[in-house]
Amino acid sequence: MFSYCLNILLNQFFSPFFNFSVGSKPKLYAKITLVIVSAVTTTVFIAFCIVLGLLIKEKFGETNNNCESGNYHNVLWDIAVGKPAQQSSTFPPNEAERAVDGNRNTDILQNSCSHTADSPEQNPWWRVDLRAVYYIVSVRMLNRGMDEHGIDVSDRLQNVTVTVGLTESSVNTTCGFFAGPGTLSQLVVLVCPPETMGRYVMVSILTGPLTLCEVDVIGF
């Protein structure tokens, strides 16, 4: 960002200094006026670039490095955190909202994961309402880890389908599929097809229960 601004600065605003020549008084006055205007404009432009650069860095981090390396997911951000969520059933007290609360603890006993009912259930699902239509780049699911009693059921996360939709009743555009089985605290990343758009994102499996310790929806 800074180098781009500097290039514009040198090519556009400082040219009067390099082309200055003494001629008639009207031309001299015109040159002096142009230099003064350029100096003022330069100061404003530098201030704008500095502020813009700080804002971009605060919002996205070091965006130039991420873009140049092709790591676009780090430039985008999680648009699901804090949004309303629902699930097909609930194993209390593991509500659907716990998968979008920003808490990445994978011990379900620490009240950080969503969990559908333990009883047999066909096609249990979890869904988040993004409250607006976005382009969805990828969906990341954080699987449960070992709990404080040493119990490991991380392999339950398998045959997972992630879909996207514009309305609550039509969440049927496939983003990706994870065959599994999952492992302890595994972060499953599914990259959606280009130009996938939607307001709702749904995670579903063939048989329950479905446990999600965090779901990140990366988009813009």
48 CB burial (10 A radius; 0-12, 13-18, 19+): exposed
Domain boundary among 19, 48, 72: 72
Give the span between the Cα atoms of 15 and 21, in whole angstroms.
12
Give the span between the Cα atoms of 99 and 161, in whole angstroms.
16
Are 185 and 81 part of one and the same domain?
yes
The sign of the dihedral angle between the CA atoms of 50, 51, 56, 59 is: positive
158 CB burial (10 A radius; 0-12, 13-18, 19+): middle
Are 181 and 87 part of one and the same domain?
yes
Mean pLDDT score of the chain, rounded to an integer?
A: 80
Are 194 and 154 part of one and the same domain?
yes
pLDDT of residue 33: 59
Q: What is the DSSP string of 90-117?
A: --TT--GGGGGSS-----GGGS--EE--
For residues 130 and 218, the answer to whether their CB atoms sit within 8 Å is: no
CATH of the domain at 96: 2.60.120.260
Say whether pTM exceeds 0.75: no
Are 168 and 107 part of one and the same domain?
yes
Better-predicted residue by pLDDT, 207 or 43: 207
Considering its fold, how many domains does the chain have in total?
Answer: 2
Domain boundary among 55, 72, 89: 72
Are 161 and 211 part of one and the same domain?
yes
Give the span between the Cα atoms of 127 and 160, in whole angstroms.
13
Q: Quote the domain boundaries for residue 127.
A: 77-219
pLDDT of residue 47: 57
Structure-block tokens of residue 137: 């780049």
Structure confidence by residue, pLDDT tens digits, 23-56: 545 555 555 655 565 555 556 556 554 654 554 4
Q: If we measure between CA atoms, which residue out of 173, 206, 178, 203 comes closest to residue 190?
A: 178
Structure-block tokens of residue 86: 């629902």
